[in-house]
A and B are shown apart, each in its own frame.
Chain A
Amino acid sequence: MRKLPVLATAVAALAAQTSAYAGYHSTSPVAVYKNSGNPGGIANGSVYSARYYTSDSTQYIGCQSVAYPGSSGYVFCSAADSKGNYLSCMTSNADDTTRTAIASVNTSSFILFQADTSGKCSIIAISNFSYTL
């Protein structure tokens, strides 16, 4: 008889947890599409999905902004999918929009970038939406 309140509490807690994950949800594992015949390509994926909605230990995606005080820095993005396919790109003339976008990356971010044949970034898109969480 004493177990009944404990069980009821556990059921209520589970119900509350389910309601916390409401709303539209989309899982976006990291995908790397390499060009055939050259080292360029395109990669995208969600930061959160790469960590919490996959079972492999290889995939990741992210961007970094490197500064050299007194000199121009660069922005670098890289990604690897579950099969180990890798892609990266860099740009040394990132404008304020790009740097602001990179700085906004967080756990809800969906990142897409494109590398040209020389390794330069031709697209960097950062999207922060609730449904990737």
Chain B
Amino acid sequence: MNKLIAIGMLVLGFGAGAWWNHQAGSTDGAASVASATTPTAKLWEPSLSAERVDIDPSVLRALIREEVIAAVATKLGSSPTSPIRTQNVVSPEKQAQRRETLGEIDALMAGGVWGNEQRLSFQQKLATLDPEQREHALLQAVTALNSGILRITTDGPPL
């Protein structure tokens, strides 16, 4: 019987505590809504309910964003304010080689005949070019084929 009374008192105590916290929380909530227009952080502000923390979400987001940008910049070896570099750097030798390849493709087309040999050579050269140069060379070939400048003698499709 004594145990029952003790448990009852405990439950009553928890209930009262929860109600008190709820009331205190309501006033805090109203205060945080009112201060939402000013982006200032309220860290560890003492309130009626002990150890309650109110952090402005916009400030928190800004802090996280800064941290992420700094971490990415560190990983990429650039400063946080510099733009992230995504383009591959092509060596001068490679660039010269590609220019030479484009010249060879021009020479292939200048022959006026497009046979199996030209097709094979063209495909091999295309593979060494960067995407933009490749598209340029392909369009050059397609236009020449369509306009009849190149006479097709390939077995099967010309490309």
Contact = CB atoms under 8 A, between A and B. Distances in A.
Interface of A: 34, 39-41, 60, 62, 64, 66, 68, 71-72, 74, 76, 78, 86-90, 92, 115, 117-120
A78 B159 CA distance: 9
Given A76-B157, A88-B157, A89-B142, 13 more contacts: A34-B146, A64-B159, A66-B159, A68-B126, A86-B145, A86-B146, A88-B142, A88-B146, A92-B131, A115-B142, A118-B139, A118-B143, A119-B141
Interface of B: 126-127, 130-131, 134-135, 138-139, 141-143, 145-148, 152, 157-159
Nearest to B159: A76
B143 A71 contact: no
Given A74-B134, A88-B146, A119 B139 contact: yes
A89 B141 CA distance: 10
A41 B146 contact: yes
A118 B135 CA distance: 11
A72 B159 contact: no
B157 A119 contact: no
A56 to B, nearest CB: 16
A84 B90 CA distance: 43
A40 B146 CA distance: 7
Contacts of B130: 71
Given A64-B159, A76-B157, A92 B134 contact: yes
Most chain A CB neighbours (cut-off 10 Å) among B134, B143, B146: B146
B138 A74 contact: yes
A90 B138 contact: yes
10 contacts: A39-B143, A39-B146, A40-B146, A72-B131, A78-B159, A86-B145, A86-B146, A86-B152, A92-B134, A119-B138
Contacts of A118: 139, 143
Contact of B143 (A72, A76, A119): A119
Nearest to A61: B157
Nearest to B130: A71
Contacts of B157: 60, 62, 64, 76, 78, 88
A120 B138 CA distance: 9
